[in-house]
Amino acid sequence: MLQRWHILSFLLAALSAPSFSLADSSFENTAIVRTVDLGGSLVHVTTTYAVKALEPGQTVYHIALDENERHKTSWIEAKVKGQQGALRMEELAQDEDSKSHLFAVTLPKKLGVNGTINLVLDTVQTHATYPWPQSAAQKDPQSLKYESDLFIVSPYHTAVQRTKIKPSSPTVLSYTTPENVDQFTLESPVTKSGTTITYGPFHNIPSSSNAEFIGEHQQVVVVHYNFDYPVLEIKKLQRSAEISHWGSNLNIEDKIHLYNAGPTLKGHFSRLEHQSQNFYRTLGPHILASLTLYLPAGIRNTYFYDIIGNVSTSHLRTAPSVGKNARGNQFSVLEMRPRYPIMGGWNYTYTLGWDAPLEDSVGWDAANEKYIVGVPVMTVIPGTVVTEAEVKIVLPEAATDIEFISPFPALSSSISTHITYLDTTGRPAVSLEYKDLTDKHNGIIYVAYKVPLSAHLKKPLAVATAFLGVFVFALTARRVDLRLHKR
Ligand SMILES: *[C@@H]1O[C@H](CO)[C@@H](O)[C@H](O)[C@H]1NC(C)=O
Ligand SMILES: *[C@@H]1O[C@H](CO)[C@@H](O)[C@H](O)[C@H]1NC(C)=O
Ligand SMILES: *[C@@H]1O[C@H](CO)[C@@H](O)[C@H](O)[C@H]1NC(C)=O
C-alpha cells in the first residue's frame, strides 16, 4: 500500500510539474525590477523580486526565464537581498507549451500568508550581443546590438515591473518602443534618462510564464549602443597545471585561442594608420593592442609565445610570494602586448605559462594523509567569455586515492594517466571540461591525493594548516551547486 502511495504521489508530482508555469497563486510579485548592464561578450543582469506569500506555509519560490533568456544565461545565483549566501536553487524541466524554464528557489524560512521577502537573482549572459554594423574601418567607432524580451515572466501575478537597460558608454544609437502594451501602462512604455533606458513600469500583469501570455504579449526589444572596448572571446582555453613535489613547483600553462568578436575589419589593415592612431591615442575601440592580466604573486619563469615565437614586447611586474593567507590581495601584473594589434574578426593563438612555489597552493590533510592542491580554473580576462575550456591537472608520479572538486559543475571530468618521457609509470592527471565561463566562474579546483613515502619530497614542503581550513571546507561543506551550464 505504501509503495502504491509512493508511485501515486510520484505520478502526481510529475503531472503537476508543468503546471507550475501556468497560473500559480501561492505568491504575488509586488514589484520586479530587472537591471541589464550591457557589456561586450558578457552581459550582467540583476533582477529583484519583491515577493508576498498568498497561501500559508510557502518554502519554495519559482523563478522563470523564458527560452531566449535561458539560452543566453551561463551563470545564475539567487540570494536574499542584502545577504551573502546563495540560496539553494534547482532547475526544473522546461515547460513544453511556453518553453519557459523554471527554477525552484528554496526560501531561507517559511512564509505565512502576507509574509514578504526580497530576492535578488544575478545572472550573466554570454554571446548575447552582436556587432552592428557587422564591419568597421580602423578609425570607426564600434556599436553593438542587444535583444531582450520585454516582459519579465513569472508564474505569479505581478503588481508592477520594470526593466532598466544600461549601456556602459553614453552613446545610445536606438532602442525599440514596444507596441500594444496599453493594457499594462497608460504612460510611455519606454523612457530614457541619462544613458539608462527603462521599459515600464507595467502594472497588473497576470501569470506570464505560460504560452498564452507569451504568445499574446511577449515581444523583443533591441538596444543599439556604442561600446568602447574590444569585444573579446576566448574560443578555447587549455590550461595545464603540473604539480612537482621534487621541484616544489606548480607550473601553469595556458594555450589560448583568442578572438576579437567585434565588427570585422573593413578593407585592409594599415600599419601606418595604426601607428598614427596609437600616437595620438585615438585607437579604434574595436582594436586590441594590449591586455592587462592579473597573475598570481610569487611567479617566476613567465613565458609568452605565439606561433612565430617568443613575444618580447610584454611587461611583467611580479609581486613577491605572499603565501597562502594573503592569496587574492597581491598579483603579478602582466601588460600583455600581442605581436600585432588584433582587429575585429581576427584570431590570436598564444601560450602563456609560469612557475609558482608549490607551497602557495598546497595543503596537508593530516586526518586522511593527503595533499590537497588548489588550481584556479582560469585567469579571468575582464568582460571576456571563455567559450570552451579544458583544465588538466597533472599530479606527481605514483599519486593515488585521487579526489577532486570543481567549484561549479563541469561538462565532463576524468582521471587519466599522463606519460612524459622521463616517467616510468606515468603521472595521473585530472581533466575537466567547461563551456561558456564568465568572470563569475573565477573558482578553484581542489585535488586531493596521496603520494607513497618513497616518492616523497627532496625539499621538505612547508604546509600551512590555516590554508588547509579552506580546503577542508571546500571538500566537506560544499553546498548543492547553484551555478549552471548551458547544455
Ligand atoms: C493579508 O493582507 C490582507 C490585505 O492587507 C488582509 O485583508 C488579510 O487579512 C491579511 N491576512 C492575514 C492572514 O494576515
Ligand atoms: C623571451 O622574451 C623575454 C622578454 O620579454 C626574454 O626575457 C626571454 O629571455 C625571451 N626568451 C627566449 C627563449 O628567447
Ligand atoms: C578565426 O578562427 C575561427 C575558428 O575558431 C575561424 O572560423 C575564422 O575563420 C578565423 N578568422 C580568421 C580571420 O582567420
Taking the CA of residue 113 as reference, the ligand 1 atom at the shortest distance is 13
Residue 222's pLDDT band (boundaries 50, 70, 90)? Answer: very high
CB 334 within 8 A of CB 296: no
Mean pLDDT of the chain: 85
Joined grid coordinates for residue 375:
588550481
Residue 471's pLDDT band (boundaries 50, 70, 90)? Answer: low
Pocket-testing residue among 290, 312, 354, ligand 2, by greatest number of atoms within 8 A of Cβ? 312
CB 475 within 8 A of CB 405: yes
Q: Whose CA is nearest to atom 1 of ligand 3?
A: 347
For residue 161, which of 29, 23, 28, 33 has the smallest C-alpha distance? 33
AA identity, residue 369: E
Q: What is the pLDDT averaged over residues 272-296?
A: 84
Say if residue 409 is preceded by a cis peptide, omega within 30 of 0: no
Q: pTM here? A: 0.86
3-state helix, strand, coil in the chain (%, to 5): 10, 45, 40
Q: How far is CA 283 from CA 76, 141, 144, in A?
A: 35, 10, 18
Distance from the CA of 114 to the center of ligand 1, in angstroms?
Answer: 6
Joined grid coordinates for residue 249:
613547483
CB 233 within 8 A of CB 113: no
Residue 33's pLDDT band (boundaries 50, 70, 90)? Answer: very high
Least confident interval from 97-111, 113-127, 269-283, 363-377: 269-283
Report which bound ligand comes closest to the CA of 306.
2
CB 96 within 8 A of CB 139: no
Distance from the CA of 346 to the center of ligand 3, in angstroms?
Answer: 7
Q: What is the pLDDT averaged over residues 368-390?
A: 92
For the purposes of burial, counting CB atoms within 10 Å of the CB of 51, is it exposed (0-12), middle (13-18) or buried (19 or more)?
Answer: buried
Q: What is the pLDDT of residue 461?
A: 52
Distance from the CA of 479 to the center of ligand 3, in angstroms?
Answer: 40
Q: What is the pLDDT of residue 158?
A: 97
Q: What is the pLDDT averaged over residues 42-57?
A: 97
Taking the CA of residue 347 as reference, the ligand 3 atom at the shortest distance is 1
CB 400 within 8 A of CB 449: yes
Is there an atom of ligand 1 within 6 Å of 116 CB? no
Distance from the CA of 459 to the center of ligand 1, in angstroms?
Answer: 71
Is there an atom of ligand 1 within 6 Å of 114 CB? yes
Sign of CA dihedral 41, 384, 38, 335: negative
Residue 431's pLDDT band (boundaries 50, 70, 90)? Answer: very high
CA distance between the termini of the chain: 40
Task: Please provide the size of the chain in residues.
Answer: 487
Euclidean distance between CA atoms 212 and 400, whole angstroms: 57
Report which bound ligand comes closest to the CA of 336.
2
Q: What CATH number is given for 20-226 in this structure?
A: 2.60.40
Distance from the CA of 330 to the center of ligand 2, in angstroms?
Answer: 24
Residues of the chain with CATH 2.60.40.1730: 232-461
In the three-class reduction of DSSP (H, G, I as helix; E, B as strand; rest coil), residue 467 is classed as: helix
**Contacts (Cβ under 8 Å, ≥6 apart) of 10:** none
Distance from the CA of 48 to the center of ligand 2, in angstroms?
Answer: 51
Q: Whose CA is nearest to atom 11 of ligand 2?
A: 310
- Fold adopted by 232-461: Immunoglobulin-like (2.60.40)
